[in-house]
Amino acid sequence: MPGPAGGTGAAGYRSLLFSIAYGMTGSVGDAEDIVQDAFLGLTRARQAGTAIADMKAYLTTAVTRLGINYLGSARVRRETYVGDWLPEPVVVSADRPGPAEHAELTDSLSMALLVLLEALSPVERAVFVLREVFEYGYPDVARITGKSEANCRQIFARARKRIGTGGQAVDSAPRPARRAEGAELARTFFAAAAGGDMDALLGMLAPDVVFHGDGGGKARAIGKSLTEPRRVVQLLVGGFRRVRTLGVSLRPALVNGRPGAVLRDAEGRVAGVIELDIADGAVRAIHSVSNPDKLDHLGPLSDVARLPRTGS
């Protein structure tokens, strides 16, 4: 944080600001940049003699509007993205703190929800994130976005309708009891995958399970989402067998508030991240990120999953 703006009052909102920016962008690095830009703007405002009556409101508004501006260019980039797009994972390791101390605030920002939010316009996404995820009242949402309260109600209703059939992901923030149950199911699931126990895996998958993989054209990943439990199981067993021969192991972790794991090679470098979306005692979606551009915030990266570079 910049020195002049980094007082206790301003810095205390950092995790909230990060979570709003991350909900807007789906990117850890870009969310951090947006928060930094908001603090720089605060510094300039103070230097210009501007009185800030409500620090939280000022910074929340700045981050939200910077996020809206960001989404215009991000949409163009994602139109040419290779394969499935998944957000950058927010990871909290089971044995040491992860890169984001804001894990609690991002519990409601699962990968499934962030993928759904890609269908919204920048303003729809801002209104939805503020209202649905962070439970801001309509008067506050209107002030932050610069829209009327009536308009914000219409925008929210339209956004919720556009998300439509994916609404289950919106309401899937894990409760403490469900989180403990999910963690136990994840341990059993990963053990079965590592041991090649196809029958056990089939018993843990929802009938409509979906496997999403994001390699970004730079790392090994499936070309498009995979459905049908038996095909997903075959992919998992084959994939776990392959990475084991490369010396890759799984470290349990919370990924966007859900049970998951970080794949690390023999030197401890990051090769990928897996998130399990668990509901009603079954795995209903698996999100696997191997794109190195989306993992470099987690530490040194492994080459085991990288595709050969082409061209000069």
Please name which of 42, 63, 64, 44 lies closest in space to residue 53, comparing C-alpha atoms: 42
**Residue 91, beta-bridge partner list:** 255
Mean predicted lDDT score pLDDT of the chain = 87
Residue 167: pLDDT above 60? no
**Residues listed for the chain:** 312
Residue 260: pLDDT above 70? yes
Q: What does the pLDDT look like over 88-131, one tens digit per residue?
A: 999 986 555 444 445 455 667 899 999 999 999 999 999 999 99
CA–CA gap between residue 219 and residue 236 (Å, rounded): 17
What is the helix (H) or strand (E) element at residue 96, kind and residue range?
none
Q: What does the pLDDT look like over 186-240, one tens digit per residue?
A: 999 999 999 999 999 999 999 999 999 999 989 988 888 999 999 999 999 999 9
Judged by phi (left if over 0) then psi (alpha if -120 to 50, else beta), residue 186 lies in alpha
At 229, list the tokens.
């439990």
At 58, list the tokens.
């000022």
Q: What is the pTM of this model?
A: 0.87
* CA separation, residue 289 to residues 6, 83, 221 (Å): 34, 11, 8
- What b/e sequence results for 286-296 when a residue is b if at least 16 CB atoms lie within 10 Å of its CB, and e otherwise? bbbbbbbebbe
**What percent of the chain clears pLDDT 70, i.e. is strictly above it?**
86
Please name which of 55, 15, 63, 6 lies closest in space to residue 35, comparing C-alpha atoms: 63
Q: What does the pLDDT look like over 9-58, one tens digit per residue?
A: 788 899 899 999 999 999 999 999 999 999 999 999 999 998 888 999 99
Whether the CB-CB separation of 274 and 256 falls below 8 Å is answered with: no
